[in-house]
Amino acid sequence: MQQTIKATEAELEILNILWTHGPATVRDVHDRLALKKDAGYTTTLKQMQIMLEKELLSRVASGKTHVYTAAVDQQQAQGQIVQRMIDSVFNGSAMQMVMQALGNHKASDAELEMIRVYLDKKTKK
Amino acid sequence: MQQTIKATEAELEILNILWTHGPATVRDVHDRLALKKDAGYTTTLKQMQIMLEKELLSRVASGKTHVYTAAVDQQQAQGQIVQRMIDSVFNGSAMQMVMQALGNHKASDAELEMIRVYLDKKTKK
DNA sequence: TCAAATCTACGATGATTATCGTAATTGACA
DNA sequence: TGTCAATTACGATAATCATCGTAGATTTGA
């Protein structure tokens, strides 16, 4: 049985950065975070230290700093979050959420085509 | 400019019940909630009172009880929640989330077909 | 009518989150 | 080597959330 990954919104933002850009220092993460929101450096630091305790992150020392890595699988973590949302907000209907997402979002034709291809593959299987 | 609707997980469950079944008393909501989770009656009551203050709900008196109604639009609230998740967890890519949702979910062929039809309509427009 | 059942109001509490200030540590380099 | 800048460690705090107990009000029906 896979463990349940429970991350807050703020933690997800950090995980997201690490998933996207790979291992990074607190400084790196903080700078990227600062582009979107503003919080103090120590806030980010503390956040990441807590995530280390929760084992959402791992780290290795490098000189005087630490390099952090996401310790949870991206697919799995994202999947669980989406599932929780589907359950609590969409009565368990993934489809309902997909339609909502597609409806609100201005997806390009190319994107829509990708989804279509994906659907086909899924249907055939 | 539309206001930002911010509801917690527990609040969403309540909203969801009201959206699905229409106006209801605390008792009604609580009984439905009790099917899934267990919490005391006063917990649900308090929750709904707070939601009233936040103007997520409205209510009218009916005898000694109050009948509550969701005061926020379902489409709009769901849309904002999904959008927030897309932003924080999927780097702003709705598609990425859709694929995640479809991947995790065992959708029936009929469901997939519905999505396909929806996509076509969206593409043509 | 009045007692029991039901409901609301309200405050308190513990847990979790998010935030940040300060102090201690470390490494770089003048 | 000694100082300065950057980093980590740690603790504190305020805000938010979820939960529930108790008291008071109201309705119902025996």
Q: What is the pLDDT of residues B59-104, one digit of tens each?
A: 999 888 999 999 999 988 988 888 888 888 888 888 888 888 877 6
Asked if the Cβ of residue A118 lies within 7 A of any atom of strand D, the reply is no
Residue whose token pair is 């890519």? B93
Q: What is the dihedral of CA A53, A56, A58, A63, to 10 degrees?
A: -80
C1' (C5) to CA (B24) span, angstroms: 20
Stretch B36-57: mean pLDDT, rounded?
94
ipTM: 0.80
What radius of gyration, in Å, describes the C-alpha atoms of chain B? 18
**In terms of pLDDT, which residue wins out, B93 or A52?**
A52
C1' (D30) to CA (B109) span, angstroms: 59
Contacting residues for B82 by C-beta, under 8 A, at least 6 apart: A85, A89, A97, A100, A101, A104, B97
pLDDT over 90 for what percent of chain A? 45
Nearest chain B Cα to A16, which residue? B89
- Scanning residues 36 through 65 of protein chain B, those with a beta carbon under 7 Å from any atom of strand D turn out to be 37, 39-40, 42-43, 45-47, 63-64
> Does the beta-carbon distance from A88 to B12 stay under 8 Å?
yes
Asked if the Cβ of residue A84 lies within 7 A of any atom of strand D, the reply is no
pLDDT at A2: 60
> What are the backbone dihedrals phi and psi of residue A29, each rounded to the nearest 5 degrees, phi first?
-60, -45
pLDDT at A88: 81
Domains and CATH numbers, chain B: 1-89 (1.10.10.10), 94-125 (no CATH)
Distance in Å, alpha carbon of A63 to nearest chain B alpha carbon: 31
> Does the beta-carbon distance from B112 to A122 stay under 8 Å?
yes
Please tell me whether residue A61 adopts helix, strand or coil conformation.
strand
Question: CA B38 to CA B44: how far, in whole Å?
Answer: 10
Instruction: Give me the residues near strand C, CB below 7 A.
Output: A 6, 8-11, 37, 39-40, 42-43, 45-47, 63-64; B 25-27, 41-42, 45-46, 49, 64-66
